[in-house]
Structure 1
Amino acid sequence: MNPILLADAYKISHPEQYPDNTEYVYSNTTARKSRIDGVDHVVVFGIQYLTKEYLVDRFERDFFRRPKDDVLQELDDFFVSFFGPGAVDVSRYGDLHDVGYLPLEIKCLPEGTRCPIGVPFMTIVNTNPKFYWLTNAIETLVQNVIWNPITAATIADRYRQLLDKYADMTSDSPGFVDFQGHNFSMRGMSSPESSMTTDGGHLLSFNGSDTLPGTWFVNEYYGPNDGVLIGTSVPATEHSVMSAGGCEDERETFRMLIQDVYPSGIVSIVSDTWDLWKVLTEIAPSLRKEIEARDGRTVFRPDSGDPVKIVCGYNVKMHASLPESREQWEAFYEDGYDAVFTPDGQYLDEHGKVLSMNEVKGCVQILDEQFGSTINSKGYKELNPKVGLIYGDSITYERAEQICKELADKGYASTNVIYGIGSFTFQYNTRDTFSIACKATWVQIDGEGREIFKDPVTDDGTKKSAKGLLQVYRDTDGTICLRDCVSKSEEEETILETVFLDGQAFMETFGTIRKRLRR
């Protein structure tokens, strides 16, 4: 596709709408608001993909390197069919073609930086006064490409901070967190491209991923990465494999996998094709000798039910009846209970359903009982290293947090569980999750600079823009801040760095960016 068309239609009519003798348009990109409680920043990521793939490679391949007459005829034909005859003067695109590159300068905070909400992380300005219209002509493309990797990187960083917190508190293996968040999202994402950019953001915080295109994406746009582990995974089964062996021969399927197919290394086996509790309390213990003899770990994967209860079990109030009044229920939940053991010897959940003892215990406690554990230096149990647990269905940040907390309450290290983080986390977002927007704040007309801004009286303040030339700086405690309405010399003192200039993209490796975020 001709990259000129990677835009909202109304952008095509804007060049004629600026005042006569407009020479420069200066714009910024800012995350204006957070719709995720407790998140007051975004992780800058995906800018290098934007500049290399789109502003350099696609413009060169699909615009500048093509014959000028072919490009203009194609655009004219398209605009006539879309807007009608005479609506668009395509000669300006011919003038741009003659230049041979996009005459723009883009400055950005280094990728991997946490940028506070409300502070611009990027500015764009044209470098040739003839192409004043180009700054905001690429606005749609810029937002379309970068909002997803920024959002994914921010969400993954939030998971990372949560898992680091509980690992520091309960585990002797904090390095395990590198693999504790595992990206399962590809099949639920909107496109292969969104899968790649999402996984790139995820891989800034973790090494575990089943999204193969994500590691390709990192190496292609953020390489070279020689000697740096980007993404990795392990052999794992799916329900078709388990069910093909037959319900009656499920034990043999497990045995074949851990002895014949994978006699060493880590193997992950989906365990709830039929009866999860039977697998954990009958089949797995019957293969304990084989599991412990392996040079590796056998990981069990539940794949349905309430993640918190499947992993952690229930918090039972002993010798009690279910609450009846609203006040009793509130006290019940406030005390952390979600089940009761009744005087007549039944376990009941909050809905009155009778629970088995296995449901009450949950997977981690059952694996502990069947395979043993050790007490680490912090006083928490770590499962036998020959077995493990991964849960990847409907995981959210809140559920991961609850699992970590309940495991700690039961005396288990948080690193006993790996989380498969899927599209339930990464796809349920939009550009408005962090209200990422590009807005012009300064123009130069006939040699005179003019500070511009927007501040709609009908808005709640979210859409109020900065004004004039902008300086992004760090204050004395290192906080990233914005100062607007500055002079040109002050603007040049910004901590934003040039990442694109007149057709050239300036690159960093993924390893450098990842270290910046993790430190």
Structure 2
Amino acid sequence: MISWPSERAAMANLLDKFGEGVVACVMDSYDYVRALEKVLPAIKSVKLQKGGFLVLRPDSGDPIETVLQALRAAESTFGVTVNSKGYKVPNGVGVIQGDGINDVTLNSILAAVEHAGFSAECVAFGMGGGLLQKVHRDTMSFATKLSYVKLADGTERDVMKVPKTDSAKSSLPGRLAVVPAHNGLPVVVPHDHPDVDVRGNLMQVVFDG
């Protein structure tokens, strides 16, 4: 998402290429609420033209509130159908929640979804470390994120994820290096930082496509 000039352009491209099937899209790269209220309606025509199933994916913030916000946005933009049990089902759109999921939060989310009048069929869940001993990437606040892109026309751009709903998930922008600090611990610095020449870059190229 963040490698594109705008979220709208990224979503439109995603739908253009894969919109005839089931396609999931991260919605919280910058401003989750804005993406739901402004970007989603802006790509409505592309979604309807392709006719597939769009899955909205929040990835930060309060799990209950973010799921409900996505369902309400889907209802507002695409409308709903009431199923045989009397619950609302957004037309051609669902939500997947994978952040902060365990047996307690999952039940809480489904209860809130039901209370809001939506069907449980609207929401899918993902769970990684929560299925084990909750030892996962958040234990050490670790994640691999895109930080720099060079486009086909030669344009270079630093990029970073800055979710408004969780500043702790902000990532570092630009070309980076890792140098050993005075205390022996590795420190991330810009690739052209003076310390890189003095102490060396601990990063190694693993794949160069």
Which residue of 86, 95, 98 corresponds with 1:389? 95
- Give the Å deviation of 1:392: 0.6
Aligned to 2:164: none
Alignment of 1:79-478 (within 5 A): 242-246=1-5, 249-259=6-16, 261-312=17-68, 362-385=69-92, 387-428=93-134
How many residue pairs match? The answer is 135
Distance 2:39 2:15 in 1: 12
Native 8 Å contact 2:19 2:47 kept in 1:
no
Answer whether contact 1:245 1:253 (CA < 8 A) is retained. yes
Q: Is contact 1:395-1:425 (8 Å) kept?
A: no
Q: Aligned residues: percent identity? A: 32
Cα deviation, residue 378, structure 1:
0.8
Q: Which amino acid aligns with 2:25?
A: I
Residue 51 of structure 2: SS of its match in structure 1? coil
| Residues in 1 aligned to 2:47 and 2:19: alpha-carbon distance in whole angstroms | 9
Q: Are 2:56 and 2:70, in contact at CA under 8 Å, matched by a contact in 1?
A: no
Q: Tell me the distance in 2 between the aligned counterparts of 1:428 and 1:273.
A: 24
| Kept after mapping to 2: 8 A contact 1:393/1:422 | no
Q: Distance in 2 between matches of 1:269 and 1:256?
A: 11
Paired amino acid for 2:90 = L
Instruction: Give the corresponding residue for 2:186.
Output: none
What is the CA distance between 1:425 and its match in structure 2?
3.1
Larger Rg: 1
Question: Take 1:410 and 1:250, find their aligned partners in 2: how far apart are those partners?
Answer: 28
Distance in 2 between the 1:372 and 1:295 partners? Answer: 14
Give CA-to-partner distance per residue, 1:35-75, whole Å, 9 cap, x none: xxxxxxxxxxxxxxxxxxxxxxxxxxxxxxxxxxxxxxxxx
Which structure 2 residue ranges, 5 or more long, are not aligned? 136-209
As a proportion of its length, which structure holds more helix? 1
Rate the CA distance shift 1:263–1:305 in 2: closer, same or farther, 3 A.
closer
1:411 deviates by 0.9
SS of the residue 2:94 aligns to:
strand
Question: What is the rounded CA distance, in whole Å, between the counterparts of 2:127 and 2:75 in structure 1?
Answer: 24
Larger relative contact order (Cα-Cα within 8 Å, sequence gap ≥ 6)? 1
User: C-alpha offsets along residues 387-406 of structure 1, whole Å, 9 cap, x if unaligned?
Assistant: 22111111011111011111
Give per-residue Cα distances to partners, 1:465-489, cap 9 Å, x unaligned. Answer: xxxxxxxxxxxxxxxxxxxxxxxxx
Deviations 1:163-208 (A, max 9, x none): xxxxxxxxxxxxxxxxxxxxxxxxxxxxxxxxxxxxxxxxxxxxxx
Asked if the contact 1:272–1:303 (Cα under 8 Å) also holds between the matched residues in 2, the reply is yes
What letter matches 1:417 in structure 2? V
1:372–1:406 Cα change, 3 Å: same
- 1:250-271 Cα distance to aligned partner (Å, 9 max, x none): 2111111101x21421111111
Partners in 1 of 2:55 and 2:119 — Cα distance?
Answer: 16
Change (3 A) 1:412 1:263: closer
Report the Cα distance in structure 2 between the residues aligned to 1:263 and 1:365, rounded to whole angstroms.
Answer: 21
| TM-score, length basis structure 2 | 0.61
1:287, distance to aligned residue in structure 2 (A):
1.2
Cα deviation, 1:321-341, whole Å, max 9, x if unaligned, reads xxxxxxxxxxxxxxxxxxxxx
